[in-house]
Amino acid sequence: MAENHEQGKVYIIDSTLMLYRYFRGLPPMSANGRRTEAVYGYGKMLLSLLAKRPDGVIAVFDHGQHNFRNYVLPTYKENYSAMPAELKAQQELAKQMCAVLGVDAYSVNEVEADDVIATLAKKLAKSGKDVVVVSTDHDFFQLIDENIQVLVPAAENQGLGGAPTLYDESAAYTWLEAKYGATFDPKLIADLKAIAGSTAKGIPGVKGIGEKGAAKLVAQYGNVDKIVKALPKMLPGKGSAKEKLEASLGNLMKSRELTTINANVRLKQFKVEDVAGLKSFDAKVADTFFEVLGMNDLGRRSLRLNERIEAAKLPFASQPDPAQELALFC
Protein backbone atom coordinates (compact mmCIF):
# COMPACT_ATOMS: atom_id res chain seq x y z
CA MET A 1 0.00 0.00 0.00
CA ALA A 2 1.26 3.47 -0.82
CA GLU A 3 2.22 5.28 2.35
CA ASN A 4 1.23 8.81 3.18
CA HIS A 5 3.84 11.39 2.31
CA GLU A 6 3.52 12.81 5.82
CA GLN A 7 2.32 9.88 7.86
CA GLY A 8 1.88 10.78 11.50
CA LYS A 9 1.53 14.52 10.79
CA VAL A 10 -1.60 16.60 11.40
CA TYR A 11 -2.21 20.16 10.22
CA ILE A 12 -4.51 22.43 12.25
CA ILE A 13 -5.64 25.56 10.41
CA ASP A 14 -6.39 28.87 12.12
CA SER A 15 -9.21 29.21 9.61
CA THR A 16 -10.93 32.48 10.52
CA LEU A 17 -7.61 34.34 10.65
CA MET A 18 -6.53 32.87 7.32
CA LEU A 19 -9.84 33.89 5.73
CA TYR A 20 -9.33 37.46 6.98
CA ARG A 21 -5.88 37.44 5.43
CA TYR A 22 -7.10 36.40 2.00
CA PHE A 23 -10.10 38.74 2.24
CA ARG A 24 -7.82 41.73 2.87
CA GLY A 25 -4.98 40.69 0.62
CA LEU A 26 -6.53 39.36 -2.58
CA PRO A 27 -8.39 41.38 -5.20
CA PRO A 28 -12.18 40.96 -5.08
CA MET A 29 -13.55 37.88 -6.84
CA SER A 30 -17.16 36.87 -7.34
CA ALA A 31 -19.31 34.08 -8.72
CA ASN A 32 -23.09 34.04 -9.03
CA GLY A 33 -23.34 37.31 -7.14
CA ARG A 34 -21.21 36.16 -4.20
CA ARG A 35 -17.77 37.37 -3.12
CA THR A 36 -15.28 34.49 -3.25
CA GLU A 37 -11.68 35.75 -2.93
CA ALA A 38 -11.27 34.70 0.72
CA VAL A 39 -12.72 31.24 0.21
CA TYR A 40 -10.65 30.82 -2.96
CA GLY A 41 -7.41 31.60 -1.12
CA TYR A 42 -8.48 29.32 1.71
CA GLY A 43 -9.39 26.53 -0.69
CA LYS A 44 -6.07 26.72 -2.49
CA MET A 45 -4.21 26.53 0.81
CA LEU A 46 -6.43 23.71 2.12
CA LEU A 47 -5.95 21.56 -0.98
CA SER A 48 -2.19 22.12 -0.86
CA LEU A 49 -2.13 20.74 2.68
CA LEU A 50 -4.35 17.79 1.78
CA ALA A 51 -2.07 17.04 -1.18
CA LYS A 52 0.73 16.27 1.28
CA ARG A 53 -1.45 13.36 2.45
CA PRO A 54 -0.88 13.77 6.20
CA ASP A 55 -2.80 11.84 8.84
CA GLY A 56 -5.25 14.68 8.99
CA VAL A 57 -6.13 18.30 8.37
CA ILE A 58 -8.37 20.03 10.91
CA ALA A 59 -10.02 23.42 10.44
CA VAL A 60 -10.78 25.61 13.46
CA PHE A 61 -13.08 28.63 13.19
CA ASP A 62 -13.90 31.37 15.69
CA HIS A 63 -17.41 30.97 17.06
CA GLY A 64 -17.97 34.66 17.67
CA GLN A 65 -16.40 37.73 19.20
CA HIS A 66 -17.48 37.22 22.81
CA ASN A 67 -15.48 34.59 24.71
CA PHE A 68 -14.36 33.68 28.22
CA ARG A 69 -11.61 36.34 28.18
CA ASN A 70 -14.34 38.94 28.32
CA TYR A 71 -15.10 37.66 31.84
CA VAL A 72 -11.47 38.34 32.79
CA LEU A 73 -11.60 41.82 31.22
CA PRO A 74 -14.92 43.13 29.83
CA THR A 75 -13.11 45.49 27.45
CA TYR A 76 -11.11 42.70 25.80
CA LYS A 77 -11.31 43.23 22.01
CA GLU A 78 -14.14 45.72 22.44
CA ASN A 79 -12.70 47.81 19.60
CA TYR A 80 -12.75 44.92 17.16
CA SER A 81 -15.22 45.41 14.34
CA ALA A 82 -17.73 42.70 13.57
CA MET A 83 -16.83 40.42 10.69
CA PRO A 84 -17.91 42.07 7.40
CA ALA A 85 -20.99 40.48 5.87
CA GLU A 86 -19.04 39.72 2.68
CA LEU A 87 -16.52 37.72 4.70
CA LYS A 88 -19.04 36.08 7.01
CA ALA A 89 -20.75 34.55 4.00
CA GLN A 90 -17.39 33.30 2.74
CA GLN A 91 -16.62 31.74 6.12
CA GLU A 92 -19.81 29.71 5.79
CA LEU A 93 -18.65 28.63 2.32
CA ALA A 94 -15.27 27.64 3.78
CA LYS A 95 -17.05 25.45 6.34
CA GLN A 96 -19.04 23.86 3.52
CA MET A 97 -15.82 23.29 1.61
CA CYS A 98 -14.34 21.47 4.60
CA ALA A 99 -17.40 19.23 4.80
CA VAL A 100 -17.23 18.51 1.06
CA LEU A 101 -13.53 17.55 1.29
CA GLY A 102 -13.91 15.43 4.42
CA VAL A 103 -12.07 17.90 6.67
CA ASP A 104 -13.22 18.08 10.28
CA ALA A 105 -14.09 21.62 11.42
CA TYR A 106 -14.40 22.84 15.00
CA SER A 107 -15.61 25.93 16.81
CA VAL A 108 -16.60 26.19 20.46
CA ASN A 109 -19.05 28.67 21.93
CA GLU A 110 -17.37 31.42 23.98
CA VAL A 111 -13.90 30.03 23.24
CA GLU A 112 -11.41 31.62 20.87
CA ALA A 113 -10.05 29.59 17.99
CA ASP A 114 -6.53 29.91 19.48
CA ASP A 115 -7.57 27.91 22.53
CA VAL A 116 -9.34 25.23 20.51
CA ILE A 117 -6.27 24.91 18.30
CA ALA A 118 -3.98 24.63 21.34
CA THR A 119 -6.15 21.95 22.93
CA LEU A 120 -6.26 19.91 19.73
CA ALA A 121 -2.51 20.32 19.21
CA LYS A 122 -1.62 19.20 22.74
CA LYS A 123 -3.96 16.19 22.63
CA LEU A 124 -2.63 15.05 19.26
CA ALA A 125 1.00 15.62 20.24
CA LYS A 126 0.48 13.62 23.44
CA SER A 127 -0.82 10.74 21.32
CA GLY A 128 2.38 10.76 19.25
CA LYS A 129 1.32 12.87 16.28
CA ASP A 130 3.51 15.58 14.81
CA VAL A 131 1.34 18.69 14.76
CA VAL A 132 1.68 21.76 12.55
CA VAL A 133 -0.42 24.83 13.38
CA VAL A 134 -1.10 26.84 10.23
CA SER A 135 -1.45 30.51 11.12
CA THR A 136 0.05 33.96 10.68
CA ASP A 137 -0.27 34.54 14.44
CA HIS A 138 3.15 34.20 16.07
CA ASP A 139 1.46 33.93 19.48
CA PHE A 140 1.33 30.21 18.71
CA PHE A 141 5.07 30.09 19.34
CA GLN A 142 4.13 29.46 22.99
CA LEU A 143 2.95 25.98 21.91
CA ILE A 144 6.13 24.93 20.12
CA ASP A 145 7.87 21.80 21.39
CA GLU A 146 9.39 18.68 19.86
CA ASN A 147 5.97 17.59 18.52
CA ILE A 148 4.36 20.95 17.67
CA GLN A 149 5.49 23.41 15.00
CA VAL A 150 3.98 26.53 13.45
CA LEU A 151 3.63 27.06 9.70
CA VAL A 152 3.31 30.71 8.64
CA PRO A 153 2.22 31.13 5.00
CA ALA A 154 4.41 33.36 2.87
CA ALA A 155 3.75 37.09 2.88
CA GLU A 156 4.12 37.21 -0.89
CA ASN A 157 0.70 37.36 -2.53
CA GLN A 158 -0.86 36.80 0.89
CA GLY A 159 0.23 33.19 1.13
CA LEU A 160 -0.69 32.11 -2.37
CA GLY A 161 2.86 32.39 -3.66
CA GLY A 162 6.36 31.83 -2.38
CA ALA A 163 7.42 29.39 0.30
CA PRO A 164 5.83 29.28 3.75
CA THR A 165 8.04 29.29 6.85
CA LEU A 166 7.98 26.33 9.23
CA TYR A 167 8.98 27.25 12.76
CA ASP A 168 10.46 24.76 15.16
CA GLU A 169 11.99 25.98 18.42
CA SER A 170 15.28 27.02 16.81
CA ALA A 171 13.62 28.98 13.99
CA ALA A 172 11.26 30.64 16.48
CA TYR A 173 14.24 31.79 18.59
CA THR A 174 15.80 33.34 15.49
CA TRP A 175 12.60 35.15 14.47
CA LEU A 176 12.00 36.53 17.95
CA GLU A 177 15.56 37.80 18.27
CA ALA A 178 15.33 39.52 14.88
CA LYS A 179 11.99 41.16 15.77
CA TYR A 180 12.56 42.14 19.39
CA GLY A 181 16.36 42.34 19.67
CA ALA A 182 16.53 39.86 22.55
CA THR A 183 16.92 36.09 22.85
CA PHE A 184 14.31 34.25 24.91
CA ASP A 185 12.30 31.03 24.98
CA PRO A 186 9.46 31.20 22.40
CA LYS A 187 7.04 30.03 25.11
CA LEU A 188 7.59 33.39 26.83
CA ILE A 189 5.91 35.31 24.03
CA ALA A 190 2.71 35.28 26.10
CA ASP A 191 4.61 36.97 28.96
CA LEU A 192 6.11 39.52 26.57
CA LYS A 193 2.66 40.37 25.21
CA ALA A 194 1.28 40.58 28.76
CA ILE A 195 3.87 43.22 29.67
CA ALA A 196 3.66 45.18 26.41
CA GLY A 197 -0.13 45.03 26.23
CA SER A 198 -2.17 45.63 23.09
CA THR A 199 -4.26 48.70 22.32
CA ALA A 200 -6.04 46.85 19.52
CA LYS A 201 -7.09 43.96 21.77
CA GLY A 202 -7.69 46.10 24.83
CA ILE A 203 -4.95 44.35 26.84
CA PRO A 204 -3.63 46.93 29.36
CA GLY A 205 -0.14 45.53 29.98
CA VAL A 206 2.40 47.68 31.85
CA LYS A 207 2.14 51.38 31.06
CA GLY A 208 5.36 52.73 29.63
CA ILE A 209 6.91 49.41 28.59
CA GLY A 210 6.69 48.44 24.94
CA GLU A 211 7.48 45.19 23.14
CA LYS A 212 11.28 45.64 23.04
CA GLY A 213 11.39 46.63 26.70
CA ALA A 214 9.23 43.63 27.54
CA ALA A 215 11.52 41.38 25.49
CA LYS A 216 14.54 42.52 27.51
CA LEU A 217 12.72 41.73 30.74
CA VAL A 218 11.69 38.19 29.75
CA ALA A 219 15.16 37.55 28.32
CA GLN A 220 16.77 38.60 31.59
CA TYR A 221 14.35 37.22 34.17
CA GLY A 222 12.00 34.73 32.49
CA ASN A 223 8.22 34.62 32.82
CA VAL A 224 5.99 37.16 34.56
CA ASP A 225 6.13 35.34 37.91
CA LYS A 226 9.93 35.44 37.89
CA ILE A 227 9.91 39.10 36.85
CA VAL A 228 7.62 39.99 39.77
CA LYS A 229 9.79 37.96 42.15
CA ALA A 230 12.87 39.87 40.93
CA LEU A 231 11.33 43.32 41.56
CA PRO A 232 13.13 43.92 44.88
CA LYS A 233 16.48 43.42 43.12
CA MET A 234 15.76 45.76 40.21
CA LEU A 235 17.26 49.25 40.06
CA PRO A 236 14.81 51.82 41.48
CA GLY A 237 14.23 55.29 40.18
CA LYS A 238 11.77 57.53 38.38
CA GLY A 239 10.86 56.02 35.00
CA SER A 240 12.58 52.71 35.77
CA ALA A 241 11.17 49.35 34.74
CA LYS A 242 10.79 48.57 38.46
CA GLU A 243 8.59 51.63 39.01
CA LYS A 244 6.46 50.89 35.94
CA LEU A 245 6.00 47.23 36.85
CA GLU A 246 5.06 47.99 40.45
CA ALA A 247 2.50 50.58 39.30
CA SER A 248 0.83 48.09 37.00
CA LEU A 249 0.99 44.76 38.83
CA GLY A 250 -2.77 44.23 38.76
CA ASN A 251 -2.96 44.88 35.04
CA LEU A 252 0.09 42.72 34.43
CA MET A 253 -1.37 39.59 36.05
CA LYS A 254 -4.73 40.12 34.36
CA SER A 255 -3.01 40.69 31.01
CA ARG A 256 -1.17 37.41 31.28
CA GLU A 257 -4.50 35.60 31.61
CA LEU A 258 -5.51 37.19 28.31
CA THR A 259 -2.30 36.46 26.39
CA THR A 260 -1.80 32.87 27.56
CA ILE A 261 -3.38 30.33 25.22
CA ASN A 262 -5.58 27.82 27.05
CA ALA A 263 -4.82 24.25 25.97
CA ASN A 264 -7.50 22.66 28.16
CA VAL A 265 -10.72 23.45 26.33
CA ARG A 266 -13.44 20.83 26.63
CA LEU A 267 -14.02 19.28 23.19
CA LYS A 268 -16.99 16.95 23.37
CA GLN A 269 -16.88 15.50 19.85
CA PHE A 270 -13.14 15.15 19.30
CA LYS A 271 -11.42 11.76 19.47
CA VAL A 272 -7.69 11.43 18.84
CA GLU A 273 -8.12 7.93 17.44
CA ASP A 274 -10.29 9.31 14.62
CA VAL A 275 -7.31 11.22 13.21
CA ALA A 276 -5.62 8.40 11.34
CA GLY A 277 -5.60 9.39 7.68
CA LEU A 278 -7.41 11.51 5.13
CA LYS A 279 -11.09 10.78 4.67
CA SER A 280 -12.55 9.85 1.31
CA PHE A 281 -14.97 12.33 -0.19
CA ASP A 282 -17.41 12.40 -3.08
CA ALA A 283 -15.35 13.74 -5.99
CA LYS A 284 -18.42 14.67 -8.03
CA VAL A 285 -19.90 16.69 -5.17
CA ALA A 286 -16.57 18.45 -4.65
CA ASP A 287 -16.21 19.22 -8.35
CA THR A 288 -19.75 20.63 -8.49
CA PHE A 289 -19.13 22.71 -5.35
CA PHE A 290 -16.06 24.35 -6.89
CA GLU A 291 -17.74 24.77 -10.28
CA VAL A 292 -20.62 26.72 -8.72
CA LEU A 293 -18.06 29.03 -7.11
CA GLY A 294 -16.23 29.50 -10.41
CA MET A 295 -13.14 27.71 -9.10
CA ASN A 296 -12.61 25.08 -11.75
CA ASP A 297 -8.87 24.90 -11.03
CA LEU A 298 -9.64 23.87 -7.44
CA GLY A 299 -12.19 21.38 -8.73
CA ARG A 300 -9.49 19.71 -10.83
CA ARG A 301 -7.18 19.60 -7.84
CA SER A 302 -9.87 17.97 -5.71
CA LEU A 303 -10.43 15.29 -8.36
CA ARG A 304 -6.71 14.46 -8.51
CA LEU A 305 -6.51 14.46 -4.72
CA ASN A 306 -9.43 12.05 -4.46
CA GLU A 307 -7.75 9.72 -6.96
CA ARG A 308 -4.61 9.60 -4.81
CA ILE A 309 -6.61 8.95 -1.61
CA GLU A 310 -8.53 6.13 -3.27
CA ALA A 311 -5.40 4.65 -4.88
CA ALA A 312 -3.64 4.56 -1.51
CA LYS A 313 -6.38 2.26 -0.17
CA LEU A 314 -5.81 -0.39 -2.84
CA PRO A 315 -3.66 -3.40 -1.87
CA PHE A 316 -0.24 -3.36 -3.52
CA ALA A 317 -0.86 0.15 -4.83
CA SER A 318 2.20 1.54 -6.53
CA GLN A 319 4.06 4.53 -5.13
CA PRO A 320 2.71 7.80 -6.55
CA ASP A 321 4.27 9.33 -9.61
CA PRO A 322 6.20 12.47 -8.47
CA ALA A 323 4.96 14.32 -11.55
CA GLN A 324 1.35 13.61 -10.54
CA GLU A 325 2.03 14.78 -7.01
CA LEU A 326 3.61 18.01 -8.26
CA ALA A 327 0.53 18.66 -10.40
CA LEU A 328 -1.55 18.95 -7.23
CA PHE A 329 0.29 22.15 -6.35
CA CYS A 330 0.19 23.71 -9.84
Which among 254, 138, 111, 262 is positioned nearest to 194, based on CA atoms?
254
| Cβ-based neighbour number of residue 127 at 10 Å | 13
Q: pTM of this prediction?
A: 0.90
pLDDT category of residue 1 using cuts at 50, 70 and 90: very low
Mean pLDDT of the chain: 89
Greater confidence (278 vs 101) lies with: 101
What residue spans in the chain does CATH classification 1.10.150.20 cover? 178-259
pLDDT digits (tens, 9 = 90+) for 168-189: 999 999 999 999 999 999 999 9
Q: What is the DSSP string of 85-129?
A: HHHHHHHHHHHHHHHHTT-EEE--TT--HHHHHHHHHHHHHHTT-
Phi, psi of 239 (to 5 degrees): 80, 5
Which among 133, 124, 119, 200 is positioned nearest to 164, based on CA atoms?
133
What residue spans in the chain does CATH classification 3.40.50.1010 cover? 6-168+261-274
pLDDT digits (tens, 9 = 90+) for 24-56: 989 999 999 999 999 999 999 999 999 999 999
Name the CATH topology of 178-259.
Answer: DNA polymerase; domain 1 (1.10.150)
Name the CATH topology of 6-168+261-274.
Answer: Rossmann fold (3.40.50)
Contacts 24+ apart (CB under 8 A), 68-75: 68/110, 68/111, 69/112, 69/257, 69/258, 72/254, 72/257, 72/258, 73/202, 73/203, 73/204, 73/254, 73/258, 75/202
pLDDT category of residue 3 using cuts at 50, 70 and 90: very low
pLDDT digits (tens, 9 = 90+) for 263-306: 999 998 898 988 988 888 999 999 999 999 999 999 999 999 99
